[in-house]
Structure 1
Amino acid sequence: MKLVIISGRSGSGKSTALNVLEDLGFYCIDNLPVMLLPTLMQQANQQGTGLVGMAVSIDARNIRSELGNFADIVSQLPNDCILEIIYLDAHVDTLLTRFSATRRKHPLTDADVPLFEAINKEVELLHHIADMADLTIDTTHLSMHQLRTMIKNRVVDKDSNEMSILFESFGFKHGIPKDSDLVFDVRCLPNPYWDPQLRHFTGQDQAIIDFLSDESSVNEMYSDIDDYLQKWLPEFQNNNRTYMTISIGCTGGQHRSVYMTERLYQAYEKRYQNVQLRHRELNP
């Protein structure tokens, strides 16, 4: 049976992710004590639930010593358990804003621990889980709807043996996506922004596509990135890597990175079964 563990800092979207999995047929448990994981899966296998799988949320409310023994406890899962660990996170400022908006109490705050300190303290408590995550999702720039779609497309709709690949464009001036596995910088390419007639378009528009397609340096950059991915993605997959987030960045995330990301996505969706596309700055 498939077991999906959802973890991450409070306010990062764990409840949303768990709700998606429940809607799609998973039996979901919020804040399960880590030590109960092996027993839960053993009983699920014995009883034959007939469900798509199990999904549990594990966060900083767990006993600290059990979080520290996470790897040992997970090693006790049944051999036929298909485990995937999804870790959600967001920028500290984003988490502070979300708690301010909802007025929820952070589980680690008390009279002596303010919210900012509690949010940072979670990193230490959860690093054993974060280090083992198959997929890390930075929800800083994701809406609830976008997160739901990402969980469905990358986790639920993925066969257990295939690699899920996300091509994502971004602007360096807005920060590098924290969940990137590979980052390619295309800021050295000709920039359509400096042409007033092209500035208001994006890399999805034909005017920008025509402009960049005619540049030899753009085609050389694409060829080099494509060669690298064709050579090394199979090696990552052979090493049991099931998720890859490939981020392409330019200055503002509007033209060059969008064009290159679209071009790579169109090529790789024909080579792999689960390939996703996201333009971070175009879909805030």
Structure 2
Amino acid sequence: MELLVITGLSGAGKSQAVRVIEDMGYYCIDNIPPALIGRFFEVCAQTDGKLRKVAVVADARSGDFFYKLLEEVESIKATGVDVKILFLDCADEVLVRRYKETRRRHPLLDVAGSLEKAVAADRLILKPVKEQANYVIDTTLLSITQLKQRIIDIFADSASSFFQIDTLSFGFKYGIPVEADLVFDVRFLPNPFYIPELKHQTGLDQPVYDYVFGQKETGLYVQKLFDLLDFSVPYYKNEGKSQLVIGVGCTGGKHRSVAIAETLNRHFADQGLKAKVTHRDILKDR
């Protein structure tokens, strides 16, 4: 059996995540006190294999009980159960805006005194859990559809059966993706944006791709990236990491970063690794 613990900041999208996970065949329980997770899993284990994948949501709504989460997870792991943690993150200002727009009440509002302080307190409480999470998804700039696709990409197969590399192109003008384990800045490369016939195309279009890789420095840089990643990726895998997120950023996230990310993704796929590429900002400002 598999146990997935879904947690993260209040307002970061856990409810949406649960819906997607449930559609993928997980039996889900929302807002469970951490101390009951082990007992709940024991009950599920007695169903003669009918419940093979189980997911629970635990967060600040549990109050003081939440501090037992990591202790409970380690206790369950000690029995040989495959336990993974999915953490949903989001920028503070976006969380505040979401709460104001939905008029929902933050679970820590009464204790903190203001919405801003409640969000900050939530982040502080969850910091140790985020550090232990197997997967971190930053929903700051993700639509519901994009969040759904990210989850599907991660959990379409058994999370314990593969090591996945997610290459993510982005624009520095829109912020560095929080979930990235490695970030590479390609803004030093010549920018197709300033070529009139290429400006409104993207790195997915052949003329832009050819322009980016027509520069001598691009080939040299990418080869050095290959060398670095071919050396380090096996160590990430052996360390037990299930997902490695590699961010490639240029100014707007439409030309150079897209072309480089596509190349990295093909490189990993050619090695037989499970690889996925996402272009976060490719449609911005259109």
Give, in whole Å, the separation in 2 of the partners of 1:159 and 1:69: 24
Determine if the alignment matches structure 1 residue 233 to structure 2 residue 226. no
Please give the secondary structure, in 2, of the residue aligned with 1:6.
strand
Please give the secondary structure, in 2, of the residue aligned with 1:88.
strand
Give, in whole Å, the separation in 2 of the partners of 1:102 and 1:152: 26
Determine if the alignment matches structure 1 residue 71 to structure 2 residue 82. no
- Deviation at 1:218? 0.4
Asked if 2 retains the 8 angstrom alpha-carbon contact of 1:172 and 1:251, the reply is yes
1:180-191 pair list within 5 angstroms: 180-191=180-191
Asked if 1 retains the 8 angstrom alpha-carbon contact of 2:112 and 2:118, the reply is no
- Deviation at 1:242? 0.5
Give, in whole Å, the separation in 1 of the partners of 2:96 and 2:30: 22
Aligned to 1:175: 175
5+ long unaligned stretches in structure 1: none
Determine if the alignment matches structure 1 residue 21 to structure 2 residue 21. yes
Please give the secondary structure, in 1, of the residue aligned with 2:160.
coil
- Deviation at 1:46? 2.8
Give, in whole Å, the separation in 1 of the partners of 2:204 and 2:171: 15
Give the residue type in structure 1 aligned to 2:149: T
Asked if 1 retains the 8 angstrom alpha-carbon contact of 2:44 and 2:51, the reply is no
Aligned to 1:149: 149
Give, in whole Å, the separation in 1 of the partners of 2:113 and 2:24: 38
Aligned to 2:253: 253
**Over residues 62-103 of structure 1, what are the superposed CA-to-partner deviations in whole Å (9 max), with x where a residue is unaligned?**
132x43333322121152311110100111121122112222
Query: What is the alpha-carbon root mean square deviation over aligned residues?
Result: 1.7
Please give the secondary structure, in 2, of the residue aligned with 1:121.
helix
- Deviation at 1:188? 1.2
Give the residue type in structure 2 aligned to 1:227: D
Any runs of at least 4 consecutive aligned residues in structure 1 with deviations exceeding 4 A, and if so which?
none
Give, in whole Å, the separation in 2 of the partners of 1:31 and 1:129: 16
Fraction of identical pairs, as percent: 36
- Deviation at 1:49? 4.6
Give the residue type in structure 1 aligned to 2:4: V
Please give the secondary structure, in 1, of the residue aligned with 2:75.
coil
Aligned to 1:85: 85
5+ long unaligned stretches in structure 2: none
Over 3 Å counting, the alpha-carbon distance change for 1:114 and 1:275 in structure 2 is: same
**Over residues 198-246 of structure 1, what are the superposed CA-to-partner deviations in whole Å (9 max), with x where a residue is unaligned?**
2121111111111112111101111111111111111111111101110
- Deviation at 1:196? 2.2
- Deviation at 1:108? 1.2
Aligned to 2:265: 265
- Deviation at 1:16? 0.7
Give, in whole Å, the separation in 2 of the partners of 1:159 and 1:32: 22
Report the number of matched residues. 283
Please give the secondary structure, in 2, of the residue aligned with 1:77.
helix
Give, in whole Å, the separation in 2 of the partners of 1:273 and 1:52: 26
- Deviation at 1:273? 4.6
**Over residues 84-125 of structure 1, what are the superposed CA-to-partner deviations in whole Å (9 max), with x where a residue is unaligned?**
101001111211221122221111113861111111110112
Give the residue type in structure 1 aligned to 2:217: S
Asked if 1 retains the 8 angstrom alpha-carbon contact of 2:17 and 2:148, the reply is yes
Asked if 1 retains the 8 angstrom alpha-carbon contact of 2:172 and 2:250, the reply is yes
Aligned to 2:127: 127
Over 3 Å counting, the alpha-carbon distance change for 1:112 and 1:140 in structure 2 is: closer
Aligned to 2:117: 117
TM-score, normalised on structure 2?
Answer: 0.93
Give, in whole Å, the separation in 1 of the partners of 2:26 and 2:203: 38
- Deviation at 1:157? 2.4
Over 3 Å counting, the alpha-carbon distance change for 1:169 and 1:240 in structure 2 is: same
**Over residues 24-66 of structure 1, what are the superposed CA-to-partner deviations in whole Å (9 max), with x where a residue is unaligned?**
21110101111112222222223335134110111101132x4
1:194-213 pair list within 5 angstroms: 194-213=194-213
Asked if 1 retains the 8 angstrom alpha-carbon contact of 2:5 and 2:58, the reply is yes
Give, in whole Å, the separation in 1 of the partners of 2:37 and 2:159: 23
Give, in whole Å, the separation in 1 of the partners of 2:159 and 2:179: 21
Give the residue type in structure 2 aligned to 1:32: I
